[in-house]
Amino acid sequence: MSVELLSPAGDMESFEAAVSYGADAVYAGGPMMQMRSDKVGFSTRDISILASKAHEAGKKLYVTVNSLAKNSEIDMLGGYVSALNDAGADALIVSDIGVLTVIKSVCPDMPVHISTQASCMNYASAMAYYNMGAERVILAREASIDDIAEIRAKTPRALQLEAFVHGSMCMAYSGRCLISSFMTGRSGNRGECAQPCRWNYYLYEEKTPGEYFEITESEGGSMILSSRDLNCIGILDRLIEAGIESFKIEGRMKSAYYVAAVTNAYRMAMDDRSMVPVAKEELELINHRPYCTGFYLPEGEKEVCLGGPASSGAEFVGRVISSSDGILTVQQRNLFRQGEVLEILSPGDVGRSFTAERMTDQDGAEITAAPHPRQIVNIYSSCEAKPGDFLRRRNS
């Protein structure tokens, strides 16, 4: 069975990274009801462009329409769904059964994937969605491997099962959290979460007014509500055996480098299990909180999911524009200097290191550093690279 690798896209650069680095399908948000900040929502015109690019590359595009709908949005849905259908979306991701009903009434043939926001973690719910016209269910993050296997055994094979395998996890797991709404007026269910679960907190004893006691756990403080990041690179075979047909990477708010590096790691591990140790190391080079496997493993194997401060083994410093005659022309993304050891991240390959021994600016003048955002820099190196490759610098 061929398992799909599904990657996120919050902008065109991330989309292109997902496609280039091995995703079979990409999911993105449109201009409304897409569960993330408006800044990562594409216009319907852009959705059409993404769909065309995806199809040209032999990939699929899924569009998120997964917010819980307000009354005021229902009347607008019909026209919006028709526009997404005309744009070439391969499926719509939804969590609201009212939205599902509207989609099926307007575009009966449009495939629908039930979002993890719907918290589906039993076969009865999965069957109900299937009977309503859903083609796929993205299972609740709380579902264990045993739960998945039972759902697979008791539902038609025509119903596809998808699961998240990597990325940030909401402390509410399937995401129906109102802490941010309550504390800041910014709704996580509308893509505006202020992430109060990541804040540091103090204990207050009611009979000792004015005294606050710090909860100490690590150098970065204690984040008693924060979840670790999900990382399933080591249990992919177990998820496949349980019945998962699509591995989903979280990250529509993440950088293109993040999307490229994570997609690349999972692509390598899925295509060749001997590459799992290499892929594990690659996943340490992106910005992440401590990793865990969520709720998938049974008791005795399950890891603690309490979070901690984020860290990264490497920093993204630039993208290759062109490479010829021993010169890499690069667009800077973070400061780097002459003499530093950099790595090239290419599709299907891990970082190849080289030293930036000589650098010039766009006009050919010698420089010793690239401090300016998106500065064009020529690096003289014998290391081969392709346009679109990422450059990174390992953290000491």
Q: Cα dist. 124→103, 120, 156, 389 in Å?
A: 22, 9, 12, 46
- Tokens for 334, please give them: 């973070």
Local confidence pLDDT in tens for the 396 residues of the chain: 699 999 999 999 999 999 999 999 999 999 998 766 667 789 999 999 999 999 999 999 999 999 889 999 999 999 999 999 999 999 999 999 999 999 999 999 999 999 998 999 999 999 999 999 999 999 998 899 999 999 999 999 999 999 999 998 876 655 567 677 767 877 766 667 777 777 777 677 677 777 766 665 555 555 566 788 999 999 999 999 999 999 999 999 999 999 999 999 999 999 999 999 999 999 999 999 899 998 899 877 866 666 677 889 999 999 999 999 899 999 999 999 999 999 999 999 988 999 999 999 999 999 999 999 999 999 998 888 999 999 999 997
Q: Which of 190, 148, 141, 189 is nearest to 305 (CA)?
A: 141
Place of tokens 């992919």: 236
Task: Write the DSSP assignment of 143-191 as a string of letters.
Answer: --HHHHHHHHHTS-TTSEEEEEEEE---TTSSS---HHHHHHS--GGGT
CA distance 260 to 99: 32
Instruction: Identify the three-state secondary structure at position 377.
Output: strand
> Tell me, what's the pLDDT at 230?
94
CA distance 21 to 264: 5
CA distance 161 to 130: 11
pTM for the complete prediction?
0.89
Residue type, 8: P
CATH topology of domain 4-173+226-292: TIM Barrel (3.20.20)
- In the chain, what are the domain boundaries? 4-173+226-292, 314-394
- Tokens for 240, please give them: 């496949």
95 within 8 A of 112, measured Cβ to Cβ: no
Does domain 314-394 fall under CATH 1.10.8.420? My reply is no
Place of tokens 């006691």: 213
> Tell me, what's the pLDDT at 34?
77
Helices 276-283 and 256-271: crossing angle in degrees, nearest 10, is: 170
